[in-house]
Structure 1
Amino acid sequence: MSTKTIQEIRAFNRFYTDLIGLLNKHLLNSDYSLSEVRIMYEIHTAGEAQASQIMAAMDIDKSYLSRILKKLEKDQLIARKASEQDGRAVVLSLTKAGEDLFQELTRATEQQIGGLVNHLNTKQQEELVAHMQAIRKILQGNL
């Protein structure tokens, strides 16, 4: 791999993370970090999830996940209950407050992205999406 390739990828990563504010301590002016919201996303998407499923989906450290889950539970955004299939396992779900917050952050994210691309015409938007899909396809092919 060439140094130029690495430099260009890093430059794009810096550009994009700055553009959407991923390095800010809190996502979209909320009280929650990107990792915390991503965990909420994983739980929301699954309906109910075990910590092991979240760890696999996010490739996140068990102790880091545990700290985040404790915070989300303290903030009454997630609930824990014993699994019906395996009483030793714990199942996580979003509470009503967690679901409401998740939906609010989803709307804010969609507005943010809309603001980034609304000046583009339809052809440019389609081209942008096609390039993003191509990047994902190329990189996922190597996983």
Structure 2
Amino acid sequence: PLEIERTSYSDQEASQTPRQGDPALGRLTHREQLALAEAYIEAGREAEASSTLGLAAAGFRANRHWTEAAEAYRRLAAIGNAAADDFAAWAECARQTGEPSRVLESLSVAAQWCLARHDSVGARRSAEEMILIDPQNATAIEILDQLPQE
């Protein structure tokens, strides 16, 4: 199994309201928030989906429900509205699940996001962490090959 190292992310309390939104969302359970976000996605209401997913993810994370938090952050990234802090939180939650495949997925998506924003430092950091988990990871090798040599 993947050895989980305690980090500053896992020890700090996540904000319960990372994004502005309807105050009524705070009265829903995190699972209800996730279901509502999915309904918003189906209705094409991405702004509301993003806000609701962010709230659900932060709530799951604050309660140390790592798998649910990682999934909520994954959905947030999938609809294209994740910020740098969301990618960092996703990777941390994925690490805490102890599942290398979740960690690799979060780092891969983060590296691609960094590449799209011409953030070679962030892309390199994510790809190098992927290599630490899986030294033969083709995605990480491909990302590193795209970056300028240091």
TM range (shorter): under 0.3
TM-score (norm 2): 0.26
Higher strand share: 1
Larger Rg: 1
TM-score (norm 1): 0.27
